[in-house]
Amino acid sequence: MYMGPSDGGQLMKNSNFKSSTNNEYIENQGFRTILHCDANSFFASCETTLHPEYASVPMAVCGSAEDRHGIVLAKNELAKKYNIRTAETVWEAKKKCPDLLVVSPTYGLYGEMSKKMNRIFYDYTDLVEPFGIDESWLDVTGSSKLFGNGHNIADSIRKRIENELGITISVGVSFNKVFAKLGSDLKKPNATSVIPPERFASIVWPLPVTELLFVGNSTAKALGRIGIRTIGDLACCDRNAIKNALGKNGIMLREFALGHDYAEVTPFGYEPEPKSVSNGMTFRYNLVTPEDVSFAITYLSMSVAERLRKHGLCCKNVAVAIRSPDQSTINRSAMLSHPTCLWKEISDTALSLVRANHQPDKEIYSVSVHAEKLTRENEILYQQNFFSEEWEEKYRKLHSLESAVDSIRDKFGKNAIGIASSINNRLI
């Protein structure tokens, strides 16, 4: 039982978190059931599905020396026994465990496994919100008639992931996202932890405040300075004291500690509509020749156009930011004669902006292309009557061509199809 500040119990009674929400659903139906599913040692477990022999030795997946300076990205259970930590160098890890098997990451494998995992979650609810590559929140409030209570659903998902994918997950079950996330950390690997509304204080409040979502090291230090060390301390602290120390953020964290988190699980695949779409890149070499510049702008414009089409958007403005090796930057933008989501039109405009505003004999350190003043594509196609039929036909043809390219890249990967000049280009 929580043995923290003496006013804790009273505060909890007064907090009345059931009626202080605006969410009618919660008021009418009782508490929501939220799951947070978190894969255990994800990269290491994925590698072990390809090489079962890795399971019997201490093993860590590490970025290559050039790539991430030989940092530990994930380690298996046996390596954990040697106190090997994520983000330490291979050199440090090897000092602790000379026999450590160091494995390079298999690109593509983790994304695939992540998709498979989310597909299983999706069998239980359409309210699935991925949080990083190996974690997702699920709102299973409406699924209980079919699949049982939160605990049952969590256990059934764990078994399926283990049997079908060969990896394990830990699941937190609670009435809000923050406590569900905290729950998935309580028992590992391959376990379910339930934090029910009537007992959350005794489970959550004794824990160090760093266990709470969004409390990183610097926040924890700031909280420590006003004597807050546990989540219970945070829940029971004076509202003004926390406001003075951490502002709005502090108030929010205190609400979380009290169980007042009403954030919804945002459905799978949901992405808020962007206000602008841009892509910038520092290439491997400075851009020197006109061909370099043309390649860079085309390369960036293609991904900008692809993202516009994905959201069903067109841009009315194109802007570029050109950075010189001395780090001075020129920003320029131009209005298009008509809204577009075609890379050729975006890249032609961006290129003429660069040519008009940058001396050809000067090198370019980095460049970015921005699509701005966005509008919905279906609206413009209805309103384009004032353009000639000829124009519209050409636009539609190019559009279907570029959309076909999008679907090939979606299906077979970004490198399946692209511009010919990107093959063996020294810039990327």
With 0-12 / 13-18 / 19 or more C-beta atoms within 10 angstroms meaning exposed / middle / buried, residue 235 is buried
Backbone torsion region of residue 218, taken as left when φ is above 0, otherwise alpha when ψ lies between -120 and 50, otherwise beta: alpha
Of 135, 255, 306, 345, the active-site residue reads: 135
372, 317 Cβ separation under 8 angstroms: yes
Q: How far is the CB of 169 from Mg ion (least distance, A)?
A: 8
117 binds Mg ion (CB under 5 A): no
Task: Answer yes or no whether residue 134 interacts with Mg ion by CB under 5 A.
Answer: yes
Give me 346's structure tokens.
């975006």
For every residue of 72-102, DSSP letters joined together read EEEE-HHHHTTT--TTSBHHHHHHH-TTPEE
User: Taking the complex as a whole, how short is the minimal distance between the CB of residue 182 and Mg ion, in angstroms?
Assistant: 14
Q: Which stretch binds Mg ion (CB under 5 A): 34-42, 53-61, 119-127, 418-426?
A: 34-42
* Contact string (CB under 5 A) for Mg ion, positions 172-201, x = contact: ------------------------------
Least Å from the CB of residue 218 to Mg ion: 23
User: What are the structure tokens assigned to 345, written together?
Assistant: 């039109």
Which range binds Mg ion by CB under 5 A, 13-21, 30-38, 241-249, 319-327? 30-38
Please tell me whether residue 214 adopts helix, strand or coil conformation. Answer: coil
Smallest distance from the beta carbon of 184 to Mg ion, in angstroms? 8
CB of 37 to Mg ion, least distance (A): 9
State which of residues 2, 32, 35, 38 lies at the interface with Mg ion (CB under 5 A): 38
Q: Which is nearer to Mg ion, 39 or 346 (CB)?
A: 39
Q: Does 88 bind Mg ion (CB under 5 A)?
A: no
Query: Does 135 qualify as catalytic in the annotation?
Result: yes
Is there a contact between 359 and 397 (Cβ–Cβ < 8 Å)? no
Spell out a b/e string for 329-368, using b for 16 or more CB atoms within 10 Å of the CB, else e: eeebeeebeebbbbbebbbbbbbebbeeebeeeeebbbbb
Interface stretch with Mg ion, choices 132-140, 159-167, 196-204, 205-213 (CB under 5 A): 132-140
Question: Looking at the DSSP assignment, which residues form a beta bridge with residue 137?
Answer: 36, 129
Q: What residues line the site for Mg ion (CB under 5 A)?
A: 38-39, 42, 134
Catalytic residue list: 135
